[in-house]
Structure 1
Amino acid sequence: MPPEIQIVHHVGQEALRAVVKRMGKLRCVWRHGVFFRLCGVGKCDNDEVRYSLLIFLLCVVISVTEAADPAGWRVRRNGRSTQSRVIPAGAVRAVTLSTMTSLSDFESMALDRHPLLRMAAARINEARGDQRQAGLWPNPMVGYSGEEMGNRGTTGMQSGFVWQKIVMGRKLKLASQVAAGRVAEQQHLAKVSRTRVLNGVRVRYYDTLVAQQRVELTRTMSQLGEELAQA
């Protein structure tokens, strides 16, 4: 049954309940012959009973008219009936199946395009570069200096030098091991990020499946309700 008809029935039922509560008082009026006064013969002292009787008669008229033409009593909006257009379930399933994407497809898309995973990969490359640099000797320095050149026709004082820092005590190997630990740390963080991304995709995927099943169930229940209302 559509909600508009349910509202009409609800209003009618509430009015009928109000009339039933006052039936005892109405019977008392009938016993004393005041019924003729309610019809206009005389003056009624109890206005509440008169209103109850009028509401009762109005509800009877509405119920009889609605039973004769149920579709005519449905509320209209913008001059059109509120009956919704029913889409065949087969067509909906065909469209859904044709455009369906599997969980593995969504996981592949997330692994290829998620910015968090790209950041993790960049940090791993940075840590590997630091590891490589930590195991190398410092770069040498080559320099040249000259003073008083051309003074009194002389060449002046010219000199050159080569500077190299010598690291001892296996410090280069230790620094390389520390950098390797940082690489392993970044790789572990990348695995954590990958697991979080996959878990998020799976949770959203199954939430979407549940929502889709709810939509299909609601559509089926709506069609069943319309069939029962038209029966």
Structure 2
Amino acid sequence: MLRSKKEGHRLQVKNLGLAFVTGSLLVTGCSMNPSLTQNETEIKPPPVSTTESNQSEKSAEQNSISTVSHDTAASDFEKTESLKLVNAEEQFDPVPLEPIQAAAVNEQSALGSGMTLQELESIALANNPAIQELAASTQKAAGYRTQVTTRPNPMVGYQGQQLADRGTDQHMAFIEREFVTANKLELNNRVLNATLSAQLQELEAQRFRVRTDIQIRFYQVLAMQKQLDLISEFLQVAEKGADFAQQRLEAGEGTRVDVLQSKILYSEVKLTQRQTKAKLAAVWREIAAISGIPEMEYTTLQGTLPSDTGTRNWDELATSMVASSPEYSAAHDRISRAYAALERQEVQAIPNITAQLGAGMDYGTNSGMVNLQVGVPIPVSNKNYGNIDAAQAEICRAQMEVQRIKNDIEARLAVVSKEFDTATAAIDVYSNDILPSALESMDLANQAYKAGEVGFVQILIARKTYFDTNLQFVNAQSQLAAAQAKIDGFMLTGGLNSVRDDSGDTSLRDQTFSQQ
């Protein structure tokens, strides 16, 4: 599946050729889309969801007041405080947090209206400056390819002799032209055609880099949105727990330790919320920068975290990935360019022919005259050996570059395979063992507390454990999404790194006609 998908991308790039350079490239070029720029720069965190209503609290309080006895002032006060304590305990025992269900791949979660991954990718591909820079470099390569195949302009001139000796002066008009031999211009075209092909592959590789960066950060934001929902839900539980612990202390049933532990738990959850919001704002700024629109305002993202925990055959995947990678294809195109350059330098010493044809009038004899002149340079001192040796060395260098890129892809895949396998292992264990155990532990702690078998702190510990395991499960899903994004993008990252400008130049044409 991966091989066919990536080979399709590769063939598409190959088929674009000059049509891409002369057509759509001129449109995307260095233009920016001002309509995508936003005026506001403040990062707004996602809204906090509320899951409980105050109506149950009010009705419970009304029921407790209606049952209070009015026999004496002292008994009235004691019963009221006792009922308040019971009421607080009921509030502290809300519906348990449900385990996060692993969503199916490609399934859309109900996050409301928001920006999808495809929309974010479209914005980034249209506005990323590195992509536009490489598009311009590809235009340069196309221009150089056209230039190195053009023939020289003919020379037209006038020649006069014996002008000071009136009556014997000679006047002639001539045309001069250099004729290229050994198919040098066609060989020039082959060299620059391989250069253009390599630049097209570099452009495609840059698009993968941008897509991968956007996907990684998209799922990071998606995970943090989910975590903020969990934090907001548990924060209400922690706040009620702190109030309940204080009421127990005032009623003489709790301890100062319970109050402090509940306050510590509440503060820790608040800290986690602040830190998550700060991380979310920072990741969004990265997304905006990679997308080429630093002023882009934060918006809720819509999508789902992956939970595919299937195994991968990493050896087969490495072979398929190397063969389909645009980075690897660009390196192979540079080998083709090196061989074409060697063939071109080997014929450089074959001289071009320069011919001049003139016609005029000799007033000394009152007769017309025609002059033909042909010349060729003699390759005695310069046989182009230096350039031939350099071209041979370039072939070796290009071949080693292909091997280096192959090894680098395999090494990067090894790192990603570790990230993928550890994330899938974490998702499996959390889904099948840790989360169900944490939920059961929390339920048992609630039952044991109501039976007077455990203290108040044990409930806090059980709830905090369940809360932490949910956050870690979301982290594992985010890590799996990042690893999968790298695999889909040939481990190409760095959407804003400096790009490779290997568009060539017109030196081959200069060499063709200078003969040096």
Q: Which amino acid aligns with 2:390?
A: V
Summarize the Cα distance change of 1:111–1:58 in structure 2 as closer, same or farther, 3 Å threshold. Answer: same
Per-residue CA shift, 1:132-190, capped at 9, x if unaligned?
222332342142412128x9996631314141441436x43343222211222222222
SS in 1 for 2:384: helix
**Amino acid of the residue matched to residue 359 of structure 2?**
E
Misfit runs of 4+, over 6 Å: 151-155
CA contact (8 A) 1:138 1:164 kept: no
1:108 corresponds to which letter in structure 2? T
Corresponding residue number in structure 2 for 1:25: none
CA RMSD of aligned residues (A): 3.9
Q: Which has the higher contact order (CA 8 A, sep 6+)?
A: 2
Q: Which amino acid aligns with 2:95?
A: R
| CA gap 1:206/1:157 in 2 versus in 1, 3 angstroms | same
TM-score (normalised: structure 2): 0.27
Q: Equivalents in 1 of 2:337, 2:366: separation in Å?
A: 55
Q: How do 1:5-44 residues align onto structure 2 when only pairs under 5 Å count?
A: 37-40=73-76
Equivalent position of 2:332 in the other structure: 121
CA–CA distance in structure 1, aligned partners of residues 315 and 366 of structure 2: 82
For residues 75 and 384 of structure 2, what CA distance do their matches in structure 1 show? 113
Distance 1:154 1:111, change over 3 A: farther
The Cα offsets for residues 98-123 of structure 1, whole Å up to 9 and x where unpaired, read as xx431123213321222222221222
Letter of the 2:331 counterpart: A
How far the C-alpha of 1:229 sits from its partner, in A, is 5.4
Identical aligned pairs, as a percentage? Answer: 10
The one-letter code of the counterpart of 2:379 is I
Q: Which residue of 1 aligns with 2:318?
A: 107
2:372 pairs, out of 142, 159, 162, with 159
- Of 414, 435, 454, the residue aligned with 1:222 is 435
* Structure 1 position 57, deviation (Å): 4.1
Q: 1:83 offset after TM fit, Å? A: 4.3
Cα distance in 2 for partners of 1:192, 1:224 equals 48
Count of residue pairs the alignment pairs up: 164
Residues 1:200 and 2:412 aligned together: yes
CA contact (8 A) 1:124 1:186 kept: yes
Q: Is the 8 A contact 1:117 1:193 kept in 2?
A: yes
Alpha-carbon distance in structure 2 between the residues aligned to 1:167 and 1:120: 37
* Structure 2 counterpart of 1:39, one-letter code: S
Q: Could you tell me which residue of structure 1 aligns to residue 35 of structure 2?
A: none
Instruction: Give unmatched runs, 5+ long, in structure 2.
Output: 1-71, 103-307, 445-516
Superimposed CA distance per residue, residues 43-76 of structure 1 (whole angstroms, 9 cap, x where no aligned partner)? xxxxxxx8xx82x54334565x69xxx8xx416x
Matches of 1:96 and 1:218, distance apart in 2: 12
Counterpart amino acid of residue 319 in structure 2: S
Relative to its length, the structure with more helix (as a share) is 1
Say which SS state the counterpart of residue 408 (structure 2) adopts: helix
Summarize the Cα distance change of 1:165–1:39 in structure 2 as closer, same or farther, 3 Å threshold. Answer: farther
What amino acid is aligned across from residue 420 of structure 2 in structure 1?
A: T
Contact 2:309 2:424 in 1 (8 A): no
- d(CA) in 2 for partners of 1:86 and 1:140? 76
* 1:198 counterpart letter in structure 2: E
TM-score of the two chains, using structure 1 as the length reference: 0.55
Q: Which amino acid aligns with 1:224?
A: S
1:208 CA displacement: 0.7
Q: Distance in 2 between matches of 1:86 and 1:144?
A: 85
CA contact (8 A) 2:322 2:328 kept: yes
Supply the distance in 1 between the matched residues of 2:325 and 2:374 (Cα, whole angstroms): 52
Q: Which residue of 2 aligns with 1:58?
A: 84
Partner of 1:15: none
Distance 1:201 1:85 in 2: 29
Counterpart position of 1:91: none
Moved more, 156-165 or 179-188: 156-165
Q: Quick one: distance in 1 between partners of 2:377 and 2:414?
A: 56
Partner of 2:296: none
Match of 2:397 among 175, 182, 185: 185
Residue in structure 2 matched with residue 213 of structure 1 by the alignment:
425
1:140 touches 1:165 (CA, 8 Å); kept in 2? no
Structure 1 124/153 Cα, relative in aligned 2: closer, same or farther at 3 Å?
A: farther
**Which consecutive unaligned segments of at least 5 residues does structure 1 have?**
1-35, 42-49, 76-81, 88-94
Q: Distance in 2 between matches of 1:85 and 1:124?
A: 51
Instruction: Work out which of the residue numbers 72, 95, 111 in structure 2 matches 1:74.
Output: 95
